[in-house]
Chain A
Amino acid sequence: MANEPVHSDPAATTPHAAAHEHHHPTWQTYVKIGAILTAITVAEVWAYYIPSLVASRVFVPMLLIMSAVKFVTVVMFYMHLKYDHKLFRVLFTGPMLIAAITLISLLFLFGQLKAKFGN
C-alpha cells in the first residue's frame, strides 16, 4: 500500500525515507567540483599531446582512471547519489555492474583487451 504524502520535500521522500538522506552541498561546493572536473579534462587532453606518454604503458590506464574519477564525481555530487537513498544507488550501480561485466567480456572475447593493454 502506498504511503500518504506527508510533505513536499524537494527530494520527494517521506520523513522516514528522508532520515536516510543528508543535506545537499552548497553552490560553492558545486563550483569547486566543476573546477576539478575541468582540471581533470585539461590533464587528459594535455596527456594526449605528449608522444612519449602516449607510447607508454601507463597512458591508457591513466586516462581510464581520470575518466572514472570524473564519472564518479558527477554521479556522487551532481546526481546526489552520495546523499540520496540507498535504493537509488542500487538502481544505478546494479545495471552499471552488469554493463561493465558485459563490456569487459565482449572485449575479451573479441581480443580487444590484449590489443589495448598488452603492447
Chain B
Amino acid sequence: MSAPAAHHYTSTGLDSRKIAIWAFIGSECMLFVSLISTYLIYKGKSLVGPFPHDPYTSATGQTFPPILDIPVTSGSTFVLLMSSLAMVLALAAVQNKDVPKHTRGERIIGSSKLWLWMTALLGATFLCFQAYEFTAFVNEGLTIRTNLFGSSFFTLTGFHGAHVTAGVIWLVSLLAIDYRRGLGPNDALNVDLAALYWHFVDVVWIVIFTLVYLIK
C-alpha cells in the first residue's frame, strides 16, 4: 500500500512541482538549442578530419572513413524511443494501481515495476551504445580536441548522455520506492515528473539524431 503524498497547490490550482518541472524543461530546451546551434555553426568548418560524413586523408597519407555509424545510432535511437513507451506505460500502471486486474495481460500492463525496470534498462542500453560510439571514435582518431566537429559533437552528445544518466538514476530511485512500499495512485505525480523528464531527454535525441547524424 502506498503512503499518501503531500501536494503543493498553487493559486492556479496546479501542483507547484509540476509547474516547476515544465519550467525546468523549458530552460533545458534553451540549453540544448545553444549546444545544437554551436554544433551546426561549426559544421563543415573543421580543418582536419575525421569528418562525420566524408572520408579524410591526412598530410601523412593516413585515410579516415566517415566517422558516424548510422546503423548503430539508429539502433540506439530505437532503444530510446521504446524507453519512452515503457515510461508512459509505467506511469499508467501507477495511476491505475487500484484498478482490479483479472487477466495475465492486465497484470503485465499494470505492473509498474516491470515498466520501470524496462525503462531503466533501455536507458542503460542507450548509454552502452553511446559508450561504444565514443570509444570507437577515440580509437579512430576523433577526440574532443581533434577538430571543431569533435569538440561540438562530444559536448552535445555528452551533455545528452549525462541527462540520460540522471534519468536512469531517477528511475532506479523510483524502483527502490516501488520495492520498499509500492507505488500507487498517490505517487502518480512523482512518477509523472520523472516521466516528463525522461520524455524530454527522448525528444532532444529525436532532434540530435536528425540534425547531427542524418543531415549531411
The residues of A with any CB-CB pair to B shorter than 8 Å are 1-5, 8, 10-14, 16-18, 24, 27, 30-31, 33-34, 37-38, 41, 44-45, 47-48, 54, 59-60, 63-64, 66-67, 70-71, 74-75, 78-79, 85, 87-88, 91-92, 94-96, 98-100, 102-103, 106-107, 110, 112, 115-116
B30 near A10 (CB under 8 angstroms)?
no
Q: B-side binding surface: helix, strand, loop or mixed?
A: helix
- Total residue contacts A-B, CB cutoff 8 A: 169
A14→B13 contact, CB < 8 A: yes
B7 partner, pick from A12, A30, A59, A70, beta carbons under 8 A: A12
Given contacts A13-B13, A95-B29, A102-B37, contact A87 B19 (CB under 8 A): yes
Q: Does B46 contact A (CB under 8 A)?
A: no
Q: Is B118 an interface residue (CB 8 A)?
A: no
Total residues of chain B contacting the partner, CB 8 A: 65
Checking B23, B41, B88, B195 against A106 with a beta-carbon cut-off of 8 angstroms, the contacting residue is B41
Q: Are B25 and A107 in contact (CB-based, < 8 A)?
A: no
Give the CA-CA distance A3 to B78 in the complex, in Å.
Answer: 43
Contacts A14-B13, A74-B199, A87-B14 given: A102-B26 contact, CB under 8 Å? no
- Tell me, in angstroms, the Cα distance from A66 to B207 when the chains sit together: 10
Q: Which of B15, B36, B207, B215 contacts A12 (CB 8 A)?
A: B15
Q: Taking the nearest CB of chain A, how far is it from the CB of B154, in angstroms? A: 20
